[in-house]
């Protein structure tokens, strides 16, 4: 996707599929509804913006997305890291928080991502 100039912006387990039979070694990425080009028509990288708002699923999205920054390849990779840790551990530290207010929950998830050390996360 990145080699074609696009970022997914919603990397999460639900958007991965594994092929069957002769395609069982292929992992497919689905749901491109939030995808966006990171290249302009002239081939240059899009301008930085910090007024986009959170795009994607708060549980997996990058710290920069939580801050409202325009997403780029780095953000897909950070989200993929969270997905891989989830697959390995079966959970992420910010899952199952008992917070009902959606905005407050997003804020707490961001703070936890910001403050956690790699050893605690993995």
10 part of the active site = yes
Q: Give the DSSP H or E segment for 28.
A: strand 27-29
Enter the tokens of residue 56: 């994607």
- Residue 92: C-alpha distances to residues 57, 59, 61, 62, 109 (Å): 13, 8, 12, 14, 10
- 10, 51, 76, 115: which one is catalytic? 10
Domain boundaries, the chain: 2-121
Predicted confidence at residue 28, as pLDDT, reads 96
Euclidean distance between CA atoms 83 and 62, whole angstroms: 11
User: Is residue 92 helix, strand or coil?
Assistant: coil
Predicted confidence at residue 106, as pLDDT, reads 94
Predicted confidence at residue 90, as pLDDT, reads 95
* pLDDT tens by residue, 73-116: 999 999 999 999 999 999 999 999 999 999 999 999 999 999 99
Q: Report pTM.
A: 0.91
Predicted confidence at residue 6, as pLDDT, reads 96
* pLDDT tens by residue, 16-50: 999 999 999 999 999 999 999 999 999 999 999 99
2-121, superfamily in CATH? Transferase(Phosphotransferase) domain 1 (1.10.510.10)
């Amino acid at each position: 996707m990145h080699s074609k100039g696009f970022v997914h912006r919603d990397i999460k387990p639900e958007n991965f599929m594994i092929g069957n039979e002769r395609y069982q070694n292929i992992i497919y990425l689905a749901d491109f509804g939030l995808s966006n080009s990171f290249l302009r028509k002239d081939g240059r990288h899009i301008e930085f913006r910090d007024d986009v708002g959170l795009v994607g699923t708060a549980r997996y999205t990058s710290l920069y997305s939580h801050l409202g920054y325009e997403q780029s390849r780095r953000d897909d990779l950070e989200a993929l890291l969270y997905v891989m840790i989830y697959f390995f551990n079966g959970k992420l530290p910010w899952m199952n928080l008992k917070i009902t207010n959606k905005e407050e929950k997003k804020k707490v998830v961001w703070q936890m991502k910001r403050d956690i050390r790699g050893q605690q996360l993995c």
